[in-house]
A and B are shown apart, each in its own frame.
Chain A
Amino acid sequence: SQKIEQNSEALNIQEGKTATLTCNYTNYSPAYLQWYRQDPGRGPVFLLLIRENEKEKRKERLKVTFDTTLKQSLFHITASQPADSATYLCALDIWTNAGKSTFGDGTTLTVKP
Chain B
Amino acid sequence: EAQVTQNPRYLITVTGKKLTVTCSQNMNHEYMSWYRQDPGLGLRQIYYSMNVEVTDKGDVPEGYKVSRKEKRNFPLILESPSPNQTSLYFCASSPRTGGLNTEAFFGQGTRLTVV
Q: Could you tell me which A residues sit within 8 Å of B by CB distance?
A: 1, 31-32, 34, 41-46, 49, 89, 91, 93, 95, 98-106
Contacts and interface: CB of A to CB of B under 8 A. Distances in A.
Contact of B106 (A44, A98, A99): A44
B42 A105 contact: yes
Contact of A46 (B35, B48, B103): B103
Interface residues of B, number: 28
Q: Is the interface of A mostly helix, strand, loop or mixed?
A: loop
Q: Which of B4, B35, B106 is most buried by chain A, counting CB atoms within 10 A of its CB?
A: B106
A34 B45 contact: no
B98 A42 contact: no
Contact of A98 (B43, B44, B58, B98): B98
Given A42-B109, A44-B106, A103-B42, A93 B101 contact: yes
28 contacts: A31-B99, A31-B101, A32-B101, A34-B104, A41-B109, A42-B108, A42-B109, A43-B4, A44-B90, A44-B106, A46-B105, A49-B103, A89-B42, A91-B43, A93-B101, A98-B99, A99-B31, A100-B45, A100-B56, A100-B58, A101-B48, A102-B59, A103-B35, A103-B42, A103-B44, A103-B45, A104-B42, A105-B41
